[in-house]
Amino acid sequence: MNTSRSAKLFSEAQQLIPGGVNSPVRAFRSVGGQPRFIKRAKGARLYDVDGNSYLDYVLSWGPMILGHAPASVISAIKKAAENGTSYGAPTELEVTLAKEIRGAFPSMEKIRLVSSGTEAVMSAIRVARGFTKRDTILKFEGCYHGHSDYLLAKAGSGLATLGIPDSPGVPDDFAKHTLTAPYNDIRTVQQLVKEHRERLACVILEPIAGNMGVVPPDPGFLSALRQVTADNGIVLIFDEVISGFRVHYGGAQALYGIKPDLTVLGKIIGGGLPVGAYGGRKEIMDLIAPSGPVYQAGTLSGNPLAVTAGLATLKQLKVRGVYKKLEEKSATLAKGIGEAAKKTGIPVTQTRVGSMLTTFFTAGPVVDWNTAKQSDTKRYGQFFHHMLEQGVYLAPSQFEAAFLSTAHTSADIEKTIKAAHTAFKKL
């Protein structure tokens, strides 16, 4: 496969941009080799600058659930752009999106739009602290909630990928307010709540972890978490930046029937343009300026183009049967990959919720960060490259989710399974 132009661009990029990328996980550091510079994308495929095409299972890390450049979204963006790109003033579009989100996530009684998941999480934690007048937060090892200082303790995603336990540049004074517990470990949570109840403002988690690879909640974990936080006046925050509109139109909270106090969204609600959102109980959200004293602001919050792209995406997701088809295709893919691994006797553990899935290169089970990190990342890297060479673009990290879109056809799934058989045989 000729990748000379990507290689040339990568060496140039590294003179100008840290690591040559604008987000660490794109650099292929944990899988080795050089990242592909993408020229365009359409449907389930990416096309790089050397003319190679790839079946895409990264989908911009989740947003492109309809595949790339879906006609309805592109035409809506084009039309909106004719009316200007940003006003810094309220628009009807923002009211429409807030209404649509509240309809899908009734727990989000009031909603604030921002421009990224990180910004949404940071703001949700600030208002949880303002509401409870407490400082301490509890997160789970292997979960990633964006790069705000106090959330980089034992985070997943890029930190897990690069093996960075915590990030320099975060003052100890910040990190000391962050407690961590193993995912799915309700006993430790109950113990920490007992010890810190007076100081604990919130518990934040991915209700379906995606940033250590996909790790579903154990049966009863979310309800026990809901119980212990409600009993102690602790704000429960569901970070549904990945799972929101991914696993169900109402996210993980609809799938599992658990009502958090605050929810964070991102990715899909922007249809590939920058949007984040946080929202929840009215008495908490009314503390946000200008209705209350907790400050949060953003020049491009509720940007008309991004909101238009989000609305056009959600409209397609409301079509009957969309999630059922995604479920069927994802189940077929997971089954096929599992069979390919089994044929070669290579130990893998597969996890999946709807159209987010991971193949861990470990015998498993994988239930938290400790068990996820037992995976053979070297072998995953080899698998990744054997698939890439066959035109299948998986996440360049063992500790990320793979995603399907409505644009992936059964033929695409069959091609991917065939490639997996070849790749496993080469390991």
CA atoms within 13 A on the CB side of 341: 19
Residue 121 touches ligand KE4, criterion: CB under 6 A: yes
Residue 387: count of CB within 10 angstroms of its CB: 21
Query: How many Cβ atoms are within 10 Å of 19's Cβ, its own excluded?
Result: 16
φ, ψ (nearest 5 deg) of residue 274 = -70, 105
CA 6 to CA 186: how far, in whole Å?
46
The residues annotated with a catalytic role in the active site are: 144, 239, 267
Residue 144 in the binding site for ligand KE4 (CB under 6 A) = yes
| Contact by Cβ (8 Å): 291, 112 | no
Our finding on whether 70 is near ligand KE4 (CB under 6 A) is: no
What burial class does residue 149 get, using C-beta atoms within 10 Å of its C-beta: 0-12 exposed, 13-18 middle, 19+ buried?
middle
Considering only 134, 145, 154, 408, the residue that binds ligand KE4 (CB under 6 A) is 145
DSSP code at position 215: B
Smallest distance, Å, CB 276 to ligand KE4?
Answer: 6
245 near ligand KE4, judged by CB under 6 A: no
Does 263 engage in binding with ligand KE4 (CB under 6 A)? Answer: no
**Nearest distance in Å: CB 88, ligand KE4:** 21
Closest to ligand KE4 by CB, 278 vs 424, is 278
Rounded-to-integer distance, Cα 225 and Cα 24, Å: 32
Smallest separation (angstroms) from ligand KE4 to the CB of 398? 12
CA distances from 190 to 43, 141, 194 (A): 45, 16, 6
**Closest approach of ligand KE4 to the CB of residue 153, in Å:** 15
Query: What is the per-residue binding string for ligand KE4 in 380-409, x denoting contact by CB under 6 A?
Result: --------------------x---------
Quick one: 73 or 401, whose CB is closer to ligand KE4? 401
User: Which of 241, 334, 372, 394 touches ligand KE4 by CB under 6 A?
Assistant: 241
- Interface residue list for ligand KE4 (CB under 6 A): 23, 25, 61, 116-118, 121, 144-146, 157-158, 206, 210-211, 239, 241-242, 266, 276, 400
